[in-house]
């Protein structure tokens, strides 16, 4: 009785299936047309100043364009309202400010005013101090990070092994000069943090964060001799002999350097990857002090963000052509992982004998050219007391390691590792309105880099005393 064919069922039910569709269409026709949407007015940004007729650095070369500034930032020309002021630059050259990627100069209030003036004079607005005592630096905070001052990123104490670098520097040298003869205990947890086991890592990072650091320095030094040197330094007799010899001014420089070199050791290289992982887990950045090409490889494999020394800074006791020459493999790994290098090539020229300097320059030239050819970011830093960044730039150009244009580009780019979370280092919409105005093209010569006519920070022109 119910033997209906499938075709018959479909003929009966098909009209029923389209009824909902027809009903929806009829209801839609009964609804009133939606009200027209008013066009959104473009956001107009208040323009405080227009810089016209300038040649503006785009990261590669200078291009003629106008620059608009509002509320301390560069703003979009198409969204800018009328500008309160206009300055015709008449073809002058505009670039972001320079930065110093490795300096211990800025640490205490007593010396800041003079250093601040010197940095601003050469166009440096941002400084990374990768190792300092937190107390003096915190006292300095009231004087820095203003429109009329440089901005400084303090890393505070470094992670190292027992009696490893920089313990010798602070306990044996700086203690009597700057810290009233303080004992080792005054520097532990301040200038350095002893990390020799996994359970030492978190307490050190807790303390660094409590002190306000967002950048952590790992000391990775002479990794190929770590076990031997660490064992040697644990012996009090050995340590005392190193200190006594290094400070004996009746001895020749080579003998004293050879003694202090024995104290150049750092973290157990096997701990480095774990330390870096813990640093990154906290949203902090990891930078590395290194001495040798082996250290460079250890730092890259550990995953640090930036290496703040290039190996081969001198040919002196402990520093040779063999342990200072980077391998192509290590360079390629640094490039693939985006690890940058602060060169500090001119940090210790006096440590190398005159007769050995051509060999030193050749090694440094090879390292730097191969780093750049591979795409490894290179940056400018001095790591020499009272030295200014222009001295490092001069060294790189005069020894043939870089052209003026390459040194200029690296000097500008250094800001990205000083304050990586800030929008600085570019003249682009949304970036902080910090800039330099040069009379002549600063990529052409060292002399041209010194032709700064104007300096702007936070949208305000600076007046140097």
**Exposure letters 257-295 (e unless 16+ CB within 10 A, then b):** bbbbbbbbbbbbbebbeebbebbeeeebbbbbbbbbbbb
Whether 16 is covered by a domain: the verdict is: no
Whether 134 is covered by a domain: the verdict is: yes
- Pairwise pLDDT comparison (42 vs 366), residue with the higher score: 366
Residue 32 has pLDDT above 70, yes or no: no
96 to each of 215, 302, 416, 423, 440, how far by Cα in Å?
23, 32, 11, 11, 15
Whether 12 is covered by a domain: the verdict is: no
Q: Residue 164 class from Cβ within 10 Å (0-12 exposed, 13-18 middle, 19+ buried)?
A: buried
349 and 435, same domain (yes or no): no
Please report, for the domain that includes residue 128, its CATH number.
3.20.20.140
- Pairwise pLDDT comparison (110 vs 308), residue with the higher score: 308
Whether 337 is covered by a domain: the verdict is: yes
**What angle do the packed helices 389-398 and 404-413 form, to 10 degrees?**
150
Whether 7 is covered by a domain: the verdict is: no
Residue 29 has pLDDT above 80, yes or no: no
The pLDDT score that the predictor gives to residue 110 is: 87
The pLDDT score that the predictor gives to residue 78 is: 83
Residues 6+ apart with CB under 8 A from 434: 96, 97, 125, 424, 456, 457, 458
415 and 319, same domain (yes or no): yes
- φ, ψ for residue 354, nearest 5 deg: -55, -40
Please report, for the domain that includes residue 67, its CATH number.
2.30.40.10
Residue 192 has pLDDT above 90, yes or no: yes
Q: What is the pLDDT of residues 392-416, one digit of tens each?
A: 999 999 999 999 999 999 999 999 9
CA distance 402 to 392: 11
76 and 212, same domain (yes or no): no
Residues 6+ apart with CB under 8 A from 335: 374, 375, 376
Whether 24 is covered by a domain: the verdict is: no
Residue 20 has pLDDT above 90, yes or no: no
What's the average model confidence in pLDDT over 134-155? 91
183 and 308, same domain (yes or no): yes
328 and 447, same domain (yes or no): no
For residue 314, what are its two tokens?
A: 């001198």
- Which position has the token pair 């979370």? 421
The pLDDT score that the predictor gives to residue 27 is: 43
Residue 157 has pLDDT above 50, yes or no: yes
**Exposure letters 309-332 (e unless 16+ CB within 10 A, then b):** bbbbbbbbbbbeeebbbbeeebbe
CA distance 158 to 143: 24
92 and 106, same domain (yes or no): no
For residue 53, what are its two tokens?
A: 């007729």
For residue 60, what are its two tokens?
A: 């590669």
Whether 9 is covered by a domain: the verdict is: no
59 and 115, same domain (yes or no): no
244 and 272, same domain (yes or no): yes
Residue 44 has pLDDT above 90, yes or no: no
451 and 354, same domain (yes or no): no
Q: What is the pLDDT of residues 165-183, one digit of tens each?
A: 999 999 999 999 999 999 9
CA distance 62 to 47: 23
The pLDDT score that the predictor gives to residue 253 is: 87
* Percent of the chain residues past pLDDT 70, beyond the cut: 91
Phi/psi class of residue 139: alpha, beta or left (left: φ > 0; alpha: ψ in -120 to 50)? alpha
Residue 145 has pLDDT above 90, yes or no: no
82 and 110, same domain (yes or no): no
392 and 459, same domain (yes or no): no
Whether 62 is covered by a domain: the verdict is: yes
Mean pLDDT of the chain: 91
Residue 26 has pLDDT above 60, yes or no: no
The number of distinct structural domains making up the chain is 2
Instruction: State the pairing for strand pair 435-438/93-95.
Output: antiparallel
What's the average model confidence in pLDDT over 367-388? 96
Q: Which domain holds residue 215?
A: 98-426
Residue 419 has pLDDT above 90, yes or no: yes
31 — pLDDT class (breaks 50, 70, 90) = low
Q: Residue 174 class from Cβ within 10 Å (0-12 exposed, 13-18 middle, 19+ buried)?
A: middle
Residue 108 has pLDDT above 90, yes or no: no
- Which range, 14-18, 157-161, 351-355, is most confident? 157-161
444 and 313, same domain (yes or no): no
Residue 59 has pLDDT above 60, yes or no: yes
């Amino acid at each position: 009785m119910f033997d209906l064919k499938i075709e018959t069922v479909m003929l009966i039910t098909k009209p029923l299936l389209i009824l909902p569709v027809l009903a929806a269409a009829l209801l839609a026709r009964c609804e009133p047309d939606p009200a027209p949407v008013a066009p959104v007015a473009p956001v107009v940004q208040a323009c405080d100043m227009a810089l016209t007729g300038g040649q503006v650095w785009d990261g590669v070369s200078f291009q003629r364009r106008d620059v608009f500034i509002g509320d301390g930032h560069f703003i979009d020309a198409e969204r800018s309202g009328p500008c309160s002021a206009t300055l015709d630059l008449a073809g002058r050259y505009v670039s972001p400010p320079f930065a110093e990627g490795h300096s211990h100069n800025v640490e205490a209030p007593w010396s800041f005013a003079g250093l601040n003036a010197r940095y601003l004079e050469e166009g440096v607005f941002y400084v990374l101090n990768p190792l300092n005592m937190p107390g003096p630096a915190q006292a300095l905070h009231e004087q820095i990070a203003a429109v009329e001052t440089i901005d400084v990123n303090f890393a505070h104490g470094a992670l190292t092994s027992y009696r490893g670098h920089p313990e010798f520097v602070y306990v044996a040298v700086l203690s009597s000069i700057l810290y009233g003869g303080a004992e080792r205990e005054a520097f532990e947890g301040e200038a350095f943090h002893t990390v020799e086991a996994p359970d030492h890592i978190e307490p050190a990072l807790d303390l660094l964060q409590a002190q306000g650091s967002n950048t952590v320095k790992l000391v990775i030094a002479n990794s190929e001799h770590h076990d031997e040197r660490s064992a040697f330094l644990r012996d009090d007799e050995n340590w005392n002999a190193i200190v006594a010899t290094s400070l004996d001014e009746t001895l020749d420089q080579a003998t004293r350097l050879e003694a202090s070199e024995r104290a150049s050791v750092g973290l157990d290289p096997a701990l480095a990857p774990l330390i870096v992982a813990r640093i990154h887990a906290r949203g902090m950045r990891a930078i590395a002090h290194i001495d040798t090409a082996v250290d460079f490889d250890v730092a890259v494999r550990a995953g640090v963000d930036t290496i703040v020394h290039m190996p081969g800074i001198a040919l002196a006791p402990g520093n040779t052509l063999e342990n200072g020459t980077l391998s192509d493999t290590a360079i390629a790994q640094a490039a693939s992982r985006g690890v940058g290098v602060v060169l500090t090539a001119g940090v210790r020229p006096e440590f190398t004998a005159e007769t050995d300097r051509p060999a030193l320059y050749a090694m440094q030239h090879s390292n730097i050219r191969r780093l750049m050819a591979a795409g490894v970011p290179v940056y400018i830093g001095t790591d020499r007391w009272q030295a200014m960044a222009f001295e490092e730039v001069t060294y790189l150009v005069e020894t043939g390691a870089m052209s003026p244009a390459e040194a200029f580009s690296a000097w500008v780019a250094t800001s990205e590792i000083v304050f990586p979370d800030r929008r600085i280092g570019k003249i682009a919409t949304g970036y902080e309105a910090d800039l330099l105005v040069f009379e002549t093209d600063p990529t052409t010569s060292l002399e041209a880099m010194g032709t700064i006519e104007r300096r702007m920070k936070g949208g305000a022109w600076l007046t140097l005393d």
